[in-house]
Structure 1
Amino acid sequence: MNWVRTDWRRVSQPIRQLSLSSPVVETGAELLGSEPLRIVTPPSRWFYAAGFPLDEVSAGGKPSGPMVVRVTMSVQEGAVGIGVLAADRSTFLDERSVHAPADIIVDLLVEDAAAACMVMLRNHRPDGASRAQIENITLHRAERIASPFATAVVSRNFAAEPVPMDEGTSVFDDAVATALNQARLAHLDTLSLPLDGKSVLDIGCGVGAFADFYLDRGCRYVGIDGRAENIAEMRRRRPEAVCAVADVEVDDLSEFGRFDVVHCYGLLYHLESPIRALRALAAICDKVLLLETMVCDADDAVMMLVDESKTYNQALRGLGSRPSPAYIAMALNRIGFAHVYGVAIQPAHEDFQWTGTNSLKRRIGDHDLRRMFIASREQLDHPALVPLVV
């Protein structure tokens, strides 16, 4: 979370300090000491590491009504989430993501203390374990105050943050990335679009996960990625594939020519200016733009800004986006695509299996929200496509 509530305030000295000596230890985590408590998370992203139950203080210290949980902590490696779990453990009532190196005090707001069961620390690092230390956790009563601004942005100095040294291009090969790419490829294949022999630009190609799909179909394939390290690895793995370094938000893509098909899977949400990028892609796309992206659950055409790390599969400049499906459909149409479609059957992956409720969320539980789009110059008569422009 990259913002904090400012229309609440702590109105008490600590009601109770949670004990760090007997946490709930999750599988794969390693805990050392007690005060401070040193934690090594499981190596998988989103996996829980250690929990601190709130029910132990319900009789003598947990406030009724609004509560602030204050966590004094540091992160030495990777990134962790620190949050307050709902009573059914299905969601976080409030959570903050903290990236190394950090020495920080985190205030977590719970509007109804009765709905909270545990303070939980989990791994937010895409690939590998994270290391953190908790000094103390205290509970405070809170009250709402009049404020013209409900939230404030958490300060960040992206330029000063270190590049993760032990991840590199391996993030494209972990279990999470592999499962997602397998689902994407299988779904693309089931659409049976006329792709054989076409010229294809794979924008945000990473290390070339989709290159073989197009090369096997006799396509003239060009892969582009914003990081030189990713392109170097792609050339090592697939020397037969044409690829180059370019930033879709800054560089002129016309030097690469024009393409029948522009393939843009897993890139748009890593961009701070998605419409600028879509305009650049539309300018060199003659027929079809294939787009897969994370989204936010909103009925209106809106977009959320999101902080991202310096990991090789994240945003180049630290800011990503989560546009709503309506935002994407509207943007694609307004930049020149007369026909914009969704897909009737989504890829067989948890991130695509959700129903919009206008919740304004970008995650449900431990899963991101994703959708597929196809923008075309000409009308496509295909039973698997759902028109999004009427």
Structure 2
Amino acid sequence: MNDLEARVLGKTWFYPFRLPSGATAPTYDGGKLDLIHHTRTQMLDAALDREFGGRFEQLSAIDIACHQGWFSAHLAQRGFASVLGVDTRDEHVADATLARDAMGLNNWQIGQSDVHAMSAEQFGLHDLVLCFGLIYHLENPVGALRVARALCKRLCLVETQVVPGLTGWVDYGSYRFVRPLKGSFGIIDETEETHGPEASTTGICLVPSVEALVWIMQRIGFARVEVLPVPDDGYEQLVHRKRVMVAGWV
């Protein structure tokens, strides 16, 4: 075991990174949450194989809010020509850098930025854009989705917690002007948790319904939008539609 692997194994991670030696990084709660990462990875792989046919050697990907880099590492291991993981927190950038170096993934680069400050001019256009576990921690999720669309030239995958949807009609200024609801958002308070590594940086979180997410992605420029299927033995929140993964094609 080299020094980099020893450093990885010497701390507790959010993700169960598998190291070149075969050792696995220890995770929170003794691995009780690992299934969500494996389920999302399985869904990601199914989408990648369907879209790209397993051929990634000429493709680029960007992982927005990459956290410690689990999905960036997976894309690099699957053979993407270049993978760029971006996160706003110093500790996540440091952890992702350690994970990358310990696994020797030279096709994975790491950058630092808040999602709302990102642009195609700075970060480029990519065949694949990932936006996993992010928008439900934001007070401006629509703005983040616009960034994801701006960086995407082929496929964007968005994974998020969702809230129950509302349907119906609204008197919009007068009973003579009635508009249909296209979806809804729930407000979640994380203002006491902004110090936490998996929480919002501002504390005000607008969580979309599935209908809202699909409608917004269609309106901001994705030509086709689909909610992706979940493995029957997957993580319970995804199986029961408390979380969803949605694909948007340019």
Coarse TM-score class (shorter-chain normalised): 0.7 to 0.9
Q: 1 CA distance for matches of 2:32 and 2:200?
A: 18
Q: Of the two, which has the highest radius of gyration?
A: 1
Q: Which residue of structure 2 lines up, in the alignment, with residue 260 of structure 1? A: 127
Q: 2 CA distance for matches of 1:213 and 1:311?
A: 24
Instruction: Specify whether residues 318 and 176 from structure 1 end up closer, same or farther in structure 2 by C-alpha distance, changes over 3 A only.
Output: farther
Q: Which residue of structure 2 lines up, in the alignment, with residue 354 of structure 1? A: 240
Asked if 1:276 is matched to 2:143, the reply is: yes
SS at match of 1:315: coil
Q: Which residue of structure 1 lines up, in the alignment, with residue 216 of structure 2? A: 331
Q: 2 CA distance for matches of 1:282 and 1:374?
A: 11
1:250-296 alpha-carbon deviations (Å, 9 max, x no partner): 34353011111101111111111110011111111101101110000
Instruction: Specify whether residues 176 and 262 from structure 1 end up closer, same or farther in structure 2 by C-alpha distance, changes over 3 A only.
Output: farther
In the alignment, which of 174, 186, 200 is matched to residue 61 of structure 2?
A: 200
User: Which AA in structure 1 matches 2:126?
Assistant: F
Q: Which residue of structure 2 lines up, in the alignment, with residue 231 of structure 1? A: 93
User: Which AA in structure 1 matches 2:203?
Assistant: G
In the alignment, which of 181, 201, 208 is matched to residue 316 of structure 1?
A: 201
SS at match of 1:210: helix
Q: Which residue of structure 1 lines up, in the alignment, with residue 74 of structure 2? A: 213
Asked if 1:341 is matched to 2:226, the reply is: yes
User: Which AA in structure 2 matches 1:315?
Assistant: S
User: Which AA in structure 1 matches 2:39?
Assistant: A
**CA-CA distance at 1:176 after TM superposition:** 4.5
User: Which AA in structure 2 matches 1:370?
Assistant: R
Q: 1 CA distance for matches of 2:209 and 2:45?
A: 25
Q: 2 CA distance for matches of 1:328 and 1:346?
A: 21
- Decide whether the 8 Å contact of 2:186 with 2:206 is kept in 1: yes
Q: 1 CA distance for matches of 2:66 and 2:204?
A: 19
For structure 2, which runs of at least 5 residues remain unmatched after alignment? Answer: 1-10, 16-26, 168-182
% identical equivalent positions: 28
**CA-CA distance at 1:180 after TM superposition:** 1.0
Q: Name the one with the larger strand percent.
A: 1
Q: Which residue of structure 2 lines up, in the alignment, with residue 25 of structure 1? A: none
1:86-116 alpha-carbon deviations (Å, 9 max, x no partner): xxxxxxxxxxxxxxxxxxxxxxxxxxxxxxx
Q: Which residue of structure 1 lines up, in the alignment, with residue 84 of structure 2? A: 222
For these two proteins, the number of residue pairs brought into alignment is 197
Asked if 1:306 is matched to 2:188, the reply is: yes
Q: 2 CA distance for matches of 1:253 and 1:246?
A: 13
**CA-CA distance at 1:299 after TM superposition:** 4.3
Q: Which residue of structure 2 lines up, in the alignment, with residue 285 of structure 1? A: 152
Q: 1 CA distance for matches of 2:112 and 2:229?
A: 34
Q: Which residue of structure 1 lines up, in the alignment, with residue 45 of structure 2? A: 189
- Decide whether the 8 Å contact of 1:202 with 1:221 is kept in 2: yes
Asked if 1:178 is matched to 2:40, the reply is: no
TM-score (norm 2): 0.73
SS at match of 2:44: helix
Q: 2 CA distance for matches of 1:207 and 1:345?
A: 24
Q: 1 CA distance for matches of 2:14 and 2:71?
A: 16
**CA-CA distance at 1:325 after TM superposition:** 0.5
Provide the alpha-carbon RMSD of the alignment.
Answer: 2.0
Q: Which residue of structure 1 lines up, in the alignment, with residue 8 of structure 2? A: none
- Decide whether the 8 Å contact of 2:136 with 2:160 is kept in 1: yes
Q: Name the one with the larger helix percent.
A: 2
Q: Which residue of structure 1 lines up, in the alignment, with residue 114 of structure 2? A: 247
In the alignment, which of 240, 244, 250 is matched to residue 371 of structure 1?
A: 244
SS at match of 2:237: helix
